[in-house]
Amino acid sequence: MSDLILVLNAGSSSIKFEVFEGSALRLLWLGQMEGIGAAPHLLVRDAARRSLADRRWTTDDAPGDHAAALGIIMDWLKGVMTGRRVSSIGHRVVHGGPDFAAPVVITAAVLRRLEALVALAPLHQPHNLAGIRAAMEHFPGVPQVACFDTAFHRGHPWEADSFALPVEFYDRGIRRYGFHGLSYEYIARRLAAEDPALGRGRLVVAHLGNGASLCAIRDGRSLDSTMGFTALDGVPMGTRCGQIDPGVVLHLMQAEGMTPAEVARLLYKESGLKGLSGLSQDVRDLEASDRPEASRALSYFAWRVRREIGGMAAVLGGLDALVFTAGIGENAAGLRARICDGLGFLGISLDPQRNARGAAEISATATAVKVLVRHTDEERMIAEHVLATLAAGHAAAA
Ligand code: AMP
């Protein structure tokens, strides 16, 4: 009977999942249950992206919480996994706090420690934990591994890990944690496998998706990240503001009387490309629009990303490669060109044709810095972590 690894990414009203087979991690199925508690919708596809299930609920039997949603996903899985068994489960967990620098096998004690971190990521962590509890209920005895978005950044030097607040705040956990770590780790490992010298080099990876950040990586390890205490900091995103003078937040609350909830909504949901353009958070919409606000929003985005590339190169003491990844980084050739425009002084220069067709290497021949486009795969990274973490556990127990 072959073994399956189930990877779960539980959000506020959705559970995304991927199923891999065997130690070669062959992707079998990927899907999501959206609209949990409201208008649930299950979509499942195979590795060739052919639809296998597309179901909506309008009746009383609609899944109302994560456990019910997971039950439906499991029922679907059981119907197709004949001759196979789910032998391990990996969970994406947004926050590992100051202590979790690597994936961890989930026990009752670990779960209690993760619950204590809810205060650091109140918008995400409770849903991640609901996914873990639901999976423990449905798969008693199946080993489960938590993989953290923060873990890859835990080796940051103190200067990159701290805010310039009195030190007791650092001790209380008010730190620059950084996020998107599973994506950066995936990219760093793939590049090291492709080109070991580059893997030991100085990389700036720009994870530009609906959420966006940049990471400075040297010798395969994260040195700095544009994201800080929350996933709000750094470059502007689809609907998030990115770096902002904290005085603005004080002003909005003290002088304009906005409540913390209103400010949170503004900064998380109404800012970024959506707020700047007044049109859309989606780069495809902005590129297709001839409205000046759309072009301005894209220019702003490119400006801030370019600025952070310069900052990350300074932290690294030079640059060997710039890597674009995630939805925008992998697909938006026009934005990549805008971002790189003016970075010739760093040795960055694009080949327009290669950039337009999204080649794996888009830098002009004979430039000092390679500019690469790579697909990121956080779910596969989690599946790799599950295998390695459980193997290490078995080796330690032997
Ligand atoms: P992600 O969060 O990584 O899935 O990225 C989602 C974002 O990528 C979308 O909101 C778009 O802004 C952007 N995107 C996806 N496909 C394209 C494309 N073909 N051209 C430009 N932008 C794209």
Output phi, psi for 240, to 5 deg.
Answer: -100, 150
**pLDDT tens digits along 318-373:** 999 999 999 999 999 999 999 999 999 999 999 999 999 999 999 998 888 999 99
Ligand 1 proximity of 332 Cβ (cutoff 6 Å): yes
Closest among 203, 217, 223 to 370, alpha carbons compared: 203
Q: Is 289 in the pocket of ligand 1 (CB under 6 A)?
A: no
CB of 209 sitting under 6 A from ligand 1: yes
- Mean pLDDT, rounded, for 210-218: 97
| Cβ-based burial of 167 (10 A; exposed 0-12, middle 13-18, buried ≥19) | exposed
- Whose Cα sits closest to atom 15 in ligand 1? 327
Once rounded to an integer, what is the mean pLDDT over residues 297-312? 98
Query: How does pLDDT run across 221-243, given as a tens digit for each residue?
Result: 999 999 999 999 999 999 999 99
Question: Which residue lies with its CA nearest to atom 10 of ligand 1?
Answer: 282
Residue 121's alpha-carbon distances to 49, 96, 97, in angstroms, are 32, 10, 9
Average pLDDT, the chain: 94
Is 128 within any annotated ligand binding site? no
Rounded mean pLDDT, 273-281? 97
Predicted structure pTM score: 0.95
Instruction: Please list the residues that pair with 55 across neighbouring strands.
Output: 42
Which is nearest to 33 in space by CA: 52, 49, 55, 48?
A: 55
Model confidence band, residue 64 (pLDDT cutoffs 50, 70, 90): confident
Q: What is the spatial distance between Cα 86 and Cα 115, in angstroms, rounded to a whole number? A: 25
Ligand 1 neighbourhood includes 272 CB (under 6 angstroms) = no
Task: Say which residues have a Cβ less than 8 Å from residue 95's Cβ, sequence separation at least 6.
Answer: 114, 117, 120, 121, 124, 125, 148, 149, 150, 177
| The predicted structure's pLDDT at residue 224 | 98
> Which residue's C-alpha comes closest to atom 18 of ligand 1?
331
C-alpha 206 – ligand 1 centre gap (Å):
14
Confidence grade of residue 293 (pLDDT, cut at 50, 70, 90):
very high
Q: Which among 54, 99, 149, 195 is annotated as catalytic?
A: 149
Q: Is 327 in the pocket of ligand 1 (CB under 6 A)?
A: yes
Distance 141 CA to ligand 1 centre (A): 38
From ligand 1's centre to the CA of 49, what distance in Å? 18
Query: Does ligand 1 have an atom closer than 6 angstroms to the CB of 238?
Result: yes
> Any binding-site annotation on 331?
yes
Q: What was the pLDDT predicted at 215?
A: 98
Annotated binding residue 329: yes
96 in ligand 1 pocket by Cβ < 6 Å?
no
Burial bucket for residue 235 (CB in 10 Å: 0-12, 13-18, 19+): buried
User: Annotation-wise, does 92 bind a ligand?
Assistant: yes
Q: Can you give the pLDDT at residue 38? A: 83
Domains of the chain: 2-148 (3.30.420.40), 195-373 (3.30.420.40)
Sheet with 370-373, edge to edge strand ranges: 221-225, 212-218, 202-208, 321-325, 370-373
Q: Say how far apart CA 173 and CA 229 lie, in whole Å.
A: 9
283 annotated as belonging to a binding site for a ligand: yes
Q: How far is the CA of 377 from the centre of ligand 1 (A)?
A: 15
pLDDT mean over 180-196? 97
Task: Tell me how far CA of residue 92 lies from CA of 132, 193, 211, 236, in angstroms.
Answer: 9, 24, 16, 23
Residue nearest to atom 19 of ligand 1 (CA): 331
Task: Work out the pLDDT band at 66, boundaries 50, 70, 90.
Answer: confident
| pLDDT at site 373 | 98
Maximum Cα–Cα distance for the chain, whole Å? 65
- Provide mean pLDDT across the span 231-257: 97
Strands 202-208 and 41-46: unpaired
Q: Give the whole-angstrom CA distance, residue 274 versus residue 242.
A: 12
Q: Which of 92, 98, 100 is nearest to 146 (CA)?
A: 92
Reported confidence tier of residue 143, pLDDT bands at 50, 70, 90: very high
pLDDT tens digit sequence for 30-41? 999 998 888 889
Strands (E), the chain: 2-10, 15-21, 26-34, 41-46, 51-56, 84-93, 104-105, 144-148, 202-208, 212-218, 221-225, 321-325, 370-373
Is residue 61 part of the annotated active site? The answer reads: no
- 205 and 190 in contact (C-beta within 8 Å)? no
Q: How far is the CA of 161 from the centre of ligand 1 (A)?
A: 29
